[in-house]
Structure 1
Amino acid sequence: MALSPLVSTQWLAEKLASPDIVVVNAWLPPVGKPNAEPEYRDGHIPGAIFFDVNAISDTTSDLPHMLPPAHVFSSMMRRLGIGDGQTIVVYDGVGLYSAARVWWMFRAMGVEQVFVLDGGLPKWREEGHPIEDMPPPPRGERHFTARLNNGLVANLDKVAQALTSGAQVLDARSRGRFAGTDPEPRAGLRSGHMPGALNLPFTELLDDGRMKPADELASAFDAASLDRSRPVITTCGSGVTAAILSLALAVTGHDKAPVYDGSWTEWGGRDDTPIATGEA
C-alpha cells in the first residue's frame, strides 16, 4: 500500500519546528455563507499559511474555485513562501473538508509530499497543542515548480467519456441530492445525477471530523458497488467533497482517483448533459 496521505496531530506536534515542514490552513466558506469569516483569525496552528481556496483559483472561469493554470498556481505558492522540496501538511477548521481539496490541488500540481492532518484544527485544539492568533512572520519567496498532472484532473469531456464507456464515476453528494429528491444548494442547477454514476456521500467516510479506518473505508466503497481495482473519477457539487472521496481512496491504496473539477455545478448547470434521477 502507498504511504498514507494522512498524518496525526501527534506526528505534526513533534515535527512542527522542522524547517522542511510547511503547515497550510485551508479555507473555503460554506455554500450559502460567502461572507463567513475564516477561523484563521481566531486561532491557527503556529506558523500556518492561510490558503483561500476561492482566491487561489481560475478567476477566468464562471465555475466556483476551479483549479488555476499551473503557472498561476506556481506564482501564488511562491508568494506564500511555499517551495519545492518541502513537506506540506494541510488542515482546516472543520476537521476534514476543504483540506482534502487543497491536498488534491497540490497533488494535481505535481507535489508528492503533501498530507492532510487527520481531525484538523478541532482535534489539534482538543489535545491541547499550541494555537496562535497572530499572522506568522512574512516568508521570503521560494521557488515552486507546478507541473499539472492531467491524470488527477477530470473535465466534462473526460467524465462523459467515462460514463459512456462504463467507467466508474463516484458522487460524494447526499443521497437526496443524488436521487434528485432534494434541491441543490446552488441556484439554477438541475437535480439528479449523471447516468451510470455511483453514490457514496462523503459524510459516510468520516467520524467526528476524522477519516474512518481503512477497513471501514473499504467496506463503504464495497457497499457503494465500487471496484477499487478499476479507475474511478470522483465528483460532488463543486469539486470539494469529491476530494474527500479521492483522499479516502488513497488511504485504502488507490491513490490515482481524479477529481471532476467542475462537478455538478458544471454538469447540472448545462442543458446539454444527460441527467438521471432515483437511487443508484
Structure 2
Amino acid sequence: MDRKSTGTEQETELIVDARWLREHRDDASLILIDTRAVKDFHAGHLSGARHFDPFPFHHTDTSERGIAVFDAQLQWIFSALGITGRETVVCYENESGMRAARGQWALEYAGHPTARMLDGGLKAAAGETLTTGVDKFAATDFGLSPRPEILATYPHLLERIGRPDVQIFDVRSDEEYFGERVRAKHGGAIPGAFHQDWTAALAADGTVKSPTELRAQFEAIGLDPAAEIVTYCQGGYRAAHAYIALKIAGYPKVRNYLGSWAEWGNRDDLPIEHPRRK
C-alpha cells in the first residue's frame, strides 16, 4: 500500500509515487493523463500519456442545472480520453499540483474507482524519458456514476453555514482570503471559513506531506475529523488538492465546492465575511 494511503478499507489510494509508476509502467490497464498546458505536453511528456488540461473547464454554476451540464461535460471528456472505468488512471503534472488533483477528483466524482495523482509529478519521476510522440487510442462510452457526496454546491453550503458538524476550508492565498486581491465581483470569504494556503500541504520537493504531518497541521487550525469539510478556492482546483490532502490525513467526509469563489464572490445574494489581518 502506498505511504499516503489512510489505511482504511473505505478509502482508496488517491496518490501513487514514482516507485509505483516504475513498477506498473507496463501494465496494460494503466492510463496516464498529462494535465499540464498543451504546449508543455507537446514539448515532452511520459510515453503513452494522453492529454487533458482541466484549467479551461471552469464551472461557476452549481445549481441543479449547472451540475447537470458539468456531469455531461465530464462524460464527454472521459469518453474522448478512452477511459472505461476498468483501468487505473494516473494524472500528473510537474509536481503534485492543482491540475493533477483536479483531474483525479473529477474522475473520482464521475465514479471512476481507481483514479490517482502522481505524487511529485514529473519532478519525482526524473528517471523517466519524455517523448513528443502521441499514441493513438480509441474513444469509449464512459459510464458516468456521479458521487454527489464529494461535491458541494452553493445551496449545500448556504444551508450549512454555522453548523458545528460542517466546516468550510478556504485554501486560497492570504491575499485572496483577506480581500487584498479580489478575483470576483466581491472580495472576502465564505462566513466562518477556516483558512490555510493549499501549498501548505506540499513538502519542499513538491510531494504531498505525510498523513501525520497533514493531520497535525489541519487539526492545528481547527479542522475536526468528525465534521464534514468543504474545501474551496477560486475555481475548485486548489480545493481539489486540499480534498486529496484531507483524505490522506484521515478526514472521511470531504467535499470540493466546485463553483468556489468564482461563483460565490460573483453573486449578490450570498453572505460574505471580510476577514482582517491581526
TM-score of the alignment, normalized to the shorter chain, above 0.5 = yes
Change (3 A) 1:212 1:139: same
Q: Which residue of 2 aligns with 1:131?
A: 130
The answer to which of 38-47 and 238-247 deviates more is 38-47
TM-score (normalised: structure 2):
0.87
- 2:256 equivalent to 1:259: yes
* Structure 1 match to 2:114: 113
Instruction: Give unmatched runs, 5+ long, in structure 1.
Output: 29-36
- 1:230 equivalenced with 2:230 (yes/no): no
2:14 to 5, 20, 32: 5
1:219-241 deviation per Cα after TM superposition (whole angstroms, max 9, x unaligned): 11011100012111111111100
Is the alpha carbon distance of 1:59 and 1:155 closer, same or farther for their aligned partners in structure 2, counting shifts above 3 Å? closer
SS in 1 for 2:130: coil
Quick one: which amino acid aligns to residue 197 of structure 1? A
1:19 aligns with: 28
Cα offset, 1:84, TM superposition: 2.2
Q: Would you say 1:276 and 2:277 are equivalent positions?
A: no
Unpaired segments ≥5 residues, structure 2: 1-7
Indicate the residue corresponding to 1:243 in structure 2: 240
Given residue 154 of structure 2, which amino acid in structure 1 is its aligned partner?
L
Task: Kindly provide the amino acid, as one letter, of the partner of residue 172 in structure 1.
Answer: V
**Aligned 1:161-172 pairs, distance under 5 A:** 161-166=159-164, 167-172=166-171
Deviation at 1:242, TM superposition (A): 0.4
Q: Distance in 2 between matches of 1:89 and 1:250?
A: 17
Q: Sequence identity of aligned pairs in percent?
A: 27
**Residue 130 of structure 1: how far off its partner (Å):** 1.9
Whole-angstrom distance in 2 between the partners of 1:77 and 1:57: 16
- Aligned Cα root-mean-square deviation (Å): 2.4
Contact 1:162 1:169 in 2 (8 A): no
Q: TM-score, normalised by structure 1?
A: 0.86
Aligned length: 263
Secondary structure of residue in 2 paired with 1:165: coil
Matches within 5 A, 1:88-103: 88-103=89-104
- Aligned equivalents of 2:192, 2:101: Cα separation in 1: 25
Q: Is contact 2:178–2:189 with CA below 8 Å preserved after alignment?
A: yes
Deviation of the 1:76 alpha carbon: 2.5
The separation in 2 between residues aligned to 1:222 and 1:275, in whole angstroms, is: 25
**Aligned equivalents of 1:58, 1:238: Cα separation in 2:** 7
Which amino acid is the alignment partner of residue 202 of structure 1?
Answer: W
Task: Evaluate the alpha carbon distance shift between residue 174 and residue 69 of structure 1 in structure 2; reply closer, same or farther with a 3 A threshold.
Answer: closer
Cα 1:72–1:271, aligned 2, differ >3 Å: closer, same or farther? Answer: closer
For structure 1, which segment, 7-16 or 141-150, has the greater mean C-alpha deviation from structure 2 after superposition? 141-150
